[in-house]
Structure 1
Amino acid sequence: MTGKIAKLLFGFFDPCHLPNNPGWPLRNYLALICSRWNLKAVRFLCYRETRGFADMGLSLVGEALITVPQAWSNHRDVPSAVGWELNKGRKVSRCISLAKSMDPTRLAISAADLNLKLMRWRALPSLNLNILASIKCLLLGAGTLGCQVARTLMGWGVRKITLVDSGRVAMSNPLRQSLYTFDDCLNGGDFKAIAAVKRLNQIFPAMEAEGVVMAIPMPGHPVSSQEESSVLDDCRRLSDLVDFHDAVFLLTDTRESRWLPTLLCANTNKITITAALGFDSFLVMRHGPGPFSSSHDSKTETANSLLQDMSKLALSEIDGGRRLGCYFCNDVVAPTDSTANRTLDQQCTVTRPGLAPISGALAVELLVGILQHPHGIFAGGEISNSNSSRNSELPLGILPHQIRGSLSQFSQMTLVGHSSNSCTACCSTVVSEYRRRGMEFVLEAINHPTYLEDLTGLTELMKSANSFNLDWEDEIDDEDGNCVEI
């Protein structure tokens, strides 16, 4: 540039939106100009944009008159500036991270538990949200019930879920099983456990979900010698999964598929929730603690008389109270193959569509009630009545043992069932034998249908009951209708 410069205009990008005031960056800019060139009058342009385009109507032009201190001209003093902070003795610019306000995943995480926080703030100040966020849940079965339970767990803030299933998504599944779509059915169908985890992560990217493709070994379903190694591997893998998790949901289709998980949970004293469906009825229950969760063991000795055999079905006691039963405690026979020689409609779980969402939600609410109860898994069973919810000191109300409902009657009731000393899954005899023999015991229970009945004394009980021959045919009624012997 040649010739005399009449005016010098200093420009800078101004982020300020005020119509008549320059932004704070002008202070630092003037300090630099005065310190570097010792100017006393500085004409400046505050360049501004609107939506990324130059807006000269909003931009400002002005002049600043400055008295420069002597220390500035001698460079013995550094003029103060805004927007800089000391970091390890050096002045660096102030940085603000906008990641949380711009990243969709971070936004989802911060908003996910808003409903739970509002619940605690407005109605349940004692609600423990940390235990819900940290608990690890194992869902055995990723069908209609498994999908409903997983979705409801997410709503309660549970972030660690493992789903176990060996099946694939069929064309009939997506309409009732909420984690699957039509695309999951194509090309033979994706494995349910894998497809469910994929959908959970799509719903909420911060989920720590895992899918395990495996079948659950079952009593009454004998295996050949060639299959024994694979079946035992599945048993050990299931045992490891139960050990790793804090709560286990039994959501499978058959009765016998619940036996091994029930035994493993009783052995390790894990929180166990069962949900089972009929056509228009359902059962949701929590299993009691294991038989060795207390030093008190009420095992009854084996005897031959009917009175002694019946005492095997007496209620177990733990710490002065009765130990709650498991899914198998009311049975007098061992679990066997429930699918053999049955038609398709008898093998499939044919239920009214509304049944699974109702029972799945109740199963999760039961788990949350256990976690919020001061006694946890050792809490006694409560029965609902007109005053129970009002008088309960617990934040979520009563904590039942069993919930049975019927859609045909639109009814629901709570029951309490205590443990049996002849239970084929959770009694001290069975758990002790499992601890002593390990997977050898499990394999024998799988291959020999009557083994569990013999072990627990149910065989002797049935023999004793059948030994009573009442000889009804040797009796006649008299004229008054009284029964007399002839």
Structure 2
Amino acid sequence: MLLQFHPWASAVEASFWQVLTQRKMDIFKLDDSQKSILGYYSTGQQVRIPGKDTSVALPARLCLGTGAFPDEHDKGHGPTNRNPAFTFPAPGIIKNTNTVEDFKALDKTALFKMTVDQIWADITSGAAVLDPSVLNRFLVVTFADLKKFKFFYWFAFPALQADPAWTMDDMREIGAVWSQSQINSLRENMDQYRQAFPSNQSGFFLVKQDGDSTSVARLQDWGEFYAGCEESEVIIGFADPSSLGSHPGWPLRNFLALIQQTWKVTTMRVLCFREVPGKQDINASKLFTAHVSSSAPLTVCPKAAGWEKNALGKLGPRLADLAPLMDPTRLADTAVDLNLKLMRWRLLPDLQLEKVQETRCLLLGAGTLGCYVARSLLAWGIRNITFVDNAKVSFSNPVRQPLFEFEDCLEGGKDKATTAAASLKKVYPGVNAQGHSMSIPMPGHPISSQSLESAQNDVAKLEDLIQQHDVIFLLMDSRESRWLPTMLGARMKKIVINAALGFDTFLVMRHGVGQDNDYHSGLGSTPLGCYFCNDVVAPTDSLSDRTLDQQCTVTRPGLSAIASAMAVEMMVSLLHHPAGVRAPAAKLDSEGEQVDNVQDSLSSALGVLPHQIRGFLSRFKNLLISGQAYDRCTACSDAILTAYEQDGYDFLVKVFQDAKHLEDVTGLTKMKEEAEDLDMEWMEESDEDM
């Protein structure tokens, strides 16, 4: 009877595609070279149909799971036991193409031949005797469509074709040939064999009987193990993935080629080892005698077969569509990062996406600037965003502020901060978005005695929020509302990004950290200033007695999106600078090119890192300027920070009641008086001269 074999059926776990996706995104990128993988298989089993006396034979499955890709420390050490218990390893090669066109045009015949040649080389060199798992070498070509989570794949399980072909007698259950004592001895010795030797030895082995005892050995022990034995006493064993009663599994084909080529055996008994995992039951194992008419070794590699057929029974690739099976939130997580990782593949290998993603951002203001900043942060993969605002959504907001809808304006309007956070989670459920509806006390805005405790709570809450976040965005619509968070940001050495709008102009700037004692001069400049460092007056009440056009931010519609995007890009550039919040401002020449004023190692991976960007939409022009910290600044100077450290909320109350207190603390009041005295003296001298 012609010896026929039960072919492999690929079984790819969903988790394998997730691992492949992660490898493609983070490690392989555009590298489409062949990679080593490790599959596994178990022995054949049959499943009994409930309520019936019949059983169904399971396919002979070669599986790929989460352990398919080797770890870095596995390099050069061959297959390792990363697969489930009671399974056997099969080393393979995967070639993942970058496009579906590459997948279709791939020279699959050449890849198949390469794998066949490797198997034949392992047989003729003796490598397969030392590591018989290489007889199971396989090939898989894939294309991963990471946008749609579809994976095209095609497996090949190369098997050498014998010429002349092997024949067999009837395959019989082991219990019909051996005694129960011999079967028990085989089971016990197989357990010891697998414990004594690596997993790559366990799928192929030698068996010998001596009365009721059955012993097991490695292939490399053939000469010693079968010393004095007749050819008819030779029993080769293999872990058989087939569950059919008349056909052994696919691994036997290359195993027989190895036996014939290495030991010139023409007749032998074959043990198809099949077990029920964990139950110490091997009674499903089969025995038969295999015979071939010629033992002459081959001098050239024989022909081979092994491409897997698809679900239609034709030679062709298969498709795994994971999108319907995956959690939509997980899909969104991967998709959100896809564009960013593609940037790192092609353009910016130094892009620190993990650092950006972990950054916690506090947005003070949930209006036009706040909405656009939040959307840009999402696009950069930011996962933690908090809004602070005390206003409600009005009917004029939704057309200019993309996180609000018409329904949010009804019944007096919803709170902006909490609504913006909820809308952000609708855009991307994976974001940790929160909203706090609260006021920020301001200089020159007196607080009544009844409101002092409430204002103190707002200050404490704001201080906690700034402490909990890494980057603070100042996106409010008044100058004085920016004072308290500016002061707290300087005190805590936080990254503070400021964005302010005019009609057709905007300002985007990053704050320095005041008169910083830790700032080292090697960075090439003095500490940078904050939003208030250019002022010689304290911020005062700009909200009272305003006309309608003054009450609203009247600005060209596109300006807020431009300013918001630049604010976020400035933050990301700053995160990539080694000096962090203390990064110096880039210096530009007359042509707008960066001057190498600092070491290359202290530059941002994203290019120029300015201090301030002043944009003029009427001229479609941006100016990059910088300014140093002012030692009499009403927000970030040492005098202000010391006063707050010493007096705490009492100092703030004085500032809220009368903003000129800031001028007194910083010495601006005295400086103005001295300037007036100098002016008076000059005028008196001028009168005398006349």
Both structures adopt the same fold (TM-score exceeding 0.5)? yes
Question: Cα 1:470–1:188, aligned 2, differ >3 Å: closer, same or farther?
Answer: same
Equivalent pair of 2:390/2:415 in contact (CA under 8 Å):
yes
Question: Cα 1:27–1:141, aligned 2, differ >3 Å: closer, same or farther?
Answer: same
Equivalent pair of 1:421/1:428 in contact (CA under 8 Å):
yes
Show the counterpart of 1:414: 624
Show the counterpart of 1:236: 460
Question: Cα 1:101–1:434, aligned 2, differ >3 Å: closer, same or farther?
Answer: same
From 351, 376, 379, give the equivalent of 1:127.
351
Equivalent pair of 1:324/1:380 in contact (CA under 8 Å):
yes
From 575, 585, 589, give the equivalent of 1:381.
585
Show the counterpart of 1:197: 421
Task: Encode CA deviations 1:404-427: one digit per residue, 9 max, x unaligned.
Answer: 011112111000111111100000
1:146 partnered with 2:370: yes
Residue 69 of structure 1: how far off its partner (Å): 2.4
Task: Encode CA deviations 1:201-254: one digit per residue, 9 max, x unaligned.
Answer: 111110011111101010111011110000000000000001010110000010
Task: Encode CA deviations 1:65-111: one digit per residue, 9 max, x unaligned.
Answer: 962223268775799556999988899xxxx9968953222111111
Specify the SS of the correspondent of 1:106: helix
Equivalent pair of 2:44/2:240 in contact (CA under 8 Å):
no
Moved more, 243-252 or 81-90: 81-90
Question: Cα 1:122–1:232, aligned 2, differ >3 Å: closer, same or farther?
Answer: same
Task: Please give the alpha-carbon distance, in whole angstroms, between the structure 2 residues aligned to 1:268 and 1:175.
Answer: 36
Question: Cα 1:89–1:336, aligned 2, differ >3 Å: closer, same or farther?
Answer: farther
Show the counterpart of 1:336: 540
Show the counterpart of 1:369: 573
From 469, 473, 483, give the equivalent of 2:680.
469
Show the counterpart of 1:450: 660
Equivalent pair of 1:277/1:283 in contact (CA under 8 Å):
yes
Task: Please give the alpha-carbon distance, in whole angstroms, between the structure 1 residues aligned to 2:43 and 2:524.
Answer: 79
Equivalent residue letter for 2:398: P
Show the counterpart of 1:431: 641
Show the counterpart of 2:554: 350
From 481, 485, 506, give the equivalent of 1:257.
481
Residue 439 of structure 1: how far off its partner (Å): 1.2
Residue 438 of structure 1: how far off its partner (Å): 1.0
TM-score by length of 2: 0.54
Question: Cα 1:475–1:458, aligned 2, differ >3 Å: closer, same or farther?
Answer: closer
User: How many residue pairs are counted as aligned between the two chains?
Assistant: 411
Task: Please give the alpha-carbon distance, in whole angstroms, between the structure 1 residues aligned to 2:42 and 2:277.
Answer: 21
Show the counterpart of 1:68: 172
Task: Please give the alpha-carbon distance, in whole angstroms, between the structure 2 residues aligned to 1:87 and 1:250.
Answer: 63
Could you say which structure has the larger radius of gyration? 2
Equivalent pair of 2:508/2:614 in contact (CA under 8 Å):
yes
Specify the SS of the correspondent of 1:190: coil
Task: Please give the alpha-carbon distance, in whole angstroms, between the structure 2 residues aligned to 1:126 and 1:85.
Answer: 51
Question: Cα 1:126–1:25, aligned 2, differ >3 Å: closer, same or farther?
Answer: closer
Task: Please give the alpha-carbon distance, in whole angstroms, between the structure 2 residues aligned to 1:99 and 1:26.
Answer: 32
Question: Cα 1:220–1:72, aligned 2, differ >3 Å: closer, same or farther?
Answer: farther
> What do you get for the CA RMSD once the two structures are aligned?
3.7
Show the counterpart of 2:111: none
Specify the SS of the correspondent of 2:498: strand
Specify the SS of the correspondent of 1:150: helix
Specify the SS of the correspondent of 2:440: coil
Equivalent pair of 1:322/1:418 in contact (CA under 8 Å):
yes
Task: Please give the alpha-carbon distance, in whole angstroms, between the structure 1 residues aligned to 2:626 and 2:394.
Answer: 37
Residue 474 of structure 1: how far off its partner (Å): 8.3
Show the counterpart of 1:481: none
Task: Please give the alpha-carbon distance, in whole angstroms, between the structure 2 residues aligned to 1:469 and 1:191.
Answer: 54
Task: Please give the alpha-carbon distance, in whole angstroms, between the structure 1 residues aligned to 2:278 and 2:485.
Answer: 57
Task: Please give the alpha-carbon distance, in whole angstroms, between the structure 1 residues aligned to 2:334 and 2:588.
Answer: 37
Show the counterpart of 2:257: none
Equivalent pair of 1:100/1:107 in contact (CA under 8 Å):
no
Q: Could you list the runs of 5+ residues in structure 1 that have no partner in the other structure?
A: 1-13, 17-23, 47-64, 297-316, 477-483
Task: Please give the alpha-carbon distance, in whole angstroms, between the structure 1 residues aligned to 2:56 and 2:328.
Answer: 44
Equivalent pair of 2:425/2:431 in contact (CA under 8 Å):
yes
Equivalent pair of 2:513/2:636 in contact (CA under 8 Å):
no
Task: Encode CA deviations 1:418-441: one digit per residue, 9 max, x unaligned.
Answer: 111110000000001111111111
Question: Cα 1:219–1:66, aligned 2, differ >3 Å: closer, same or farther?
Answer: farther
Task: Encode CA deviations 1:182-219: one digit per residue, 9 max, x unaligned.
Answer: 11111111111111111111111100111111010101
Specify the SS of the correspondent of 1:226: helix
1:279 partnered with 2:516: no
Q: Could you tell me the percent identity over the aligned residues? A: 46
Equivalent pair of 1:140/1:164 in contact (CA under 8 Å):
yes
Alignment of 1:165-176 (within 5 A): 165-176=389-400
Task: Please give the alpha-carbon distance, in whole angstroms, between the structure 1 residues aligned to 2:323 and 2:479.
Answer: 50
Task: Please give the alpha-carbon distance, in whole angstroms, between the structure 1 residues aligned to 2:631 and 2:540.
Answer: 20
Residue 444 of structure 1: how far off its partner (Å): 1.2
Residue 466 of structure 1: how far off its partner (Å): 1.3
Equivalent residue letter for 1:333: V
Equivalent pair of 1:294/1:318 in contact (CA under 8 Å):
no
Equivalent pair of 1:108/1:204 in contact (CA under 8 Å):
yes
Task: Please give the alpha-carbon distance, in whole angstroms, between the structure 2 residues aligned to 1:273 and 1:161.
Answer: 14
Specify the SS of the correspondent of 1:276: strand
Show the counterpart of 2:342: 118
Residue 128 of structure 1: how far off its partner (Å): 0.5
Specify the SS of the correspondent of 2:489: helix
From 202, 217, 227, give the equivalent of 2:451.
227
Residue 374 of structure 1: how far off its partner (Å): 1.1
Residue 294 of structure 1: how far off its partner (Å): 2.0
Task: Please give the alpha-carbon distance, in whole angstroms, between the structure 1 residues aligned to 2:370 and 2:242.
Answer: 58
Larger relative contact order, structure 1 or 2 (CA cutoff 8 Å, min sep 6)? 1
Equivalent residue letter for 1:433: A
TM-score by length of 1: 0.76
Task: Please give the alpha-carbon distance, in whole angstroms, between the structure 2 residues aligned to 1:399 and 1:178.
Answer: 28
Task: Please give the alpha-carbon distance, in whole angstroms, between the structure 1 residues aligned to 2:360 and 2:513.
Answer: 18
Question: Cα 1:390–1:127, aligned 2, differ >3 Å: closer, same or farther?
Answer: farther
Residue 341 of structure 1: how far off its partner (Å): 1.4
1:218 partnered with 2:442: yes
1:105 partnered with 2:352: no
Equivalent residue letter for 2:507: L
Residue 387 of structure 1: how far off its partner (Å): 6.2
Question: Cα 1:86–1:371, aligned 2, differ >3 Å: closer, same or farther?
Answer: farther
Task: Please give the alpha-carbon distance, in whole angstroms, between the structure 1 residues aligned to 2:468 and 2:56.
Answer: 71
From 451, 455, 459, give the equivalent of 2:669.
459
Residue 291 of structure 1: how far off its partner (Å): 2.9
Show the counterpart of 2:606: 396
Task: Please give the alpha-carbon distance, in whole angstroms, between the structure 2 residues aligned to 1:242 and 1:89.
Answer: 60
Specify the SS of the correspondent of 1:354: helix
Equivalent residue letter for 1:215: S
Equivalent pair of 1:370/1:376 in contact (CA under 8 Å):
yes
Task: Encode CA deviations 1:456-482: one digit per residue, 9 max, x unaligned.
Answer: 111111111112226669869xxxxxx
Task: Encode CA deviations 1:35-59: one digit per residue, 9 max, x unaligned.
Answer: x99x9xx999x9xxxxxxxxxxxxx
Equivalent residue letter for 2:174: Q
Task: Please give the alpha-carbon distance, in whole angstroms, between the structure 2 residues aligned to 1:218 and 1:206.
Answer: 34
Task: Please give the alpha-carbon distance, in whole angstroms, between the structure 2 residues aligned to 1:403 and 1:278.
Answer: 13
